[in-house]
Structure 1
Amino acid sequence: MDTMTFTKVLGGLCGSLLVFLLGAWAAEELYHTGGGHGYGEEQQAYVIPVEGDDAAEEEVVQVSFEEVYANADASAASRIWRQCAACHKIEDGANGTGPHLYNVVGREKGAVDGYNYSGALVAVGGAWTPENLNGFLENPREYAPGTAMAYRGLADIEDRANLIAYLAANGAP
């Protein structure tokens, strides 16, 4: 293979690439009219006005935890418990990475024998009432700053209420 053949092949490839680039540029100009070349600057072709379009002003109704907990379903918490079961056990005296949660509802905080708690929960003190468990499960790091629990929390209030009902039902003597 001589130099002239190599030059012709390279020139053909570069010419083909140039044709494809020019074609892409022409298509871009045809199908993106106005608004510049930045994405996200497009406008709708037409807008249909709707009376009473208050989607942005929708009210968020705050429900108290007591009301949600009164209607909690312990059987609905089985999928949520799987997240907890990675570190906690429900059996009495069976500590995992975290303390066992047998009879946790109503138990004093930091009261499991044989488990070394971080100072954060001991400092908070008190009993694990459903309301206290709700606050802790919503955001453990905010409820007890410095806690060793790495869980980010449960955002849904119904999930928290169902989980607390599950713990109360499975820890009852």
Structure 2
Amino acid sequence: MPSILAIWVASYIQKFFTKMTPDVIKVFVVPLFTLLITVPLTFLVVGPVANTLSDGLTNLFQAIMNFNPIVFGLVLGILWQVLVMFGMHWALIPLAISDVATNGSLSILSAALLPCFTQTGVLGAIMLKTKEEKVRTISMPAFVSSIFGVTEPAIYGCDTANENTILHFMWRF
């Protein structure tokens, strides 16, 4: 999360310096000053804010888990892929470690398996049904990695290969 927020902040800093810098020295000055401002700002402000957001997310999921495990599973299952896209699924690791230490097993992240299996099934359908060679060649390695629980290639690769491919297949079935 800190890196995503740092890039977001850097984009505004870069736009500012792009407007203010003459074209002759823009290639050198804009990246230099963008990094000179972004790096310390990330360490001093953006990083702590992102860590606070991550801690807040952990506390929110802990509160939902303490309230009702079924509601927790529903919320986690719905939000899992979004959390993975932004790297915020790592905020749940302290909960998982605590669960293993307390119970000797890992049941908290069991609801996160359902979206992963769903995505694996959707990738299988894409591989079987698509007519586009580009989508098929991207979906095959994404399918293999999703079998082992790594769904990022499916999220980023197949969705960008053909607009709304995963969503199209999910709604169709």
| Normalised TM-score (structure 1) | 0.20
The structure with more helix, counted as a fraction of residues: 2
| Normalised TM-score (structure 2) | 0.20
Instruction: Identify the structure with bigger relative contact order (alpha carbons < 8 Å, sequence gap 6+).
Output: 1
Larger-gyration structure (1/2): 1
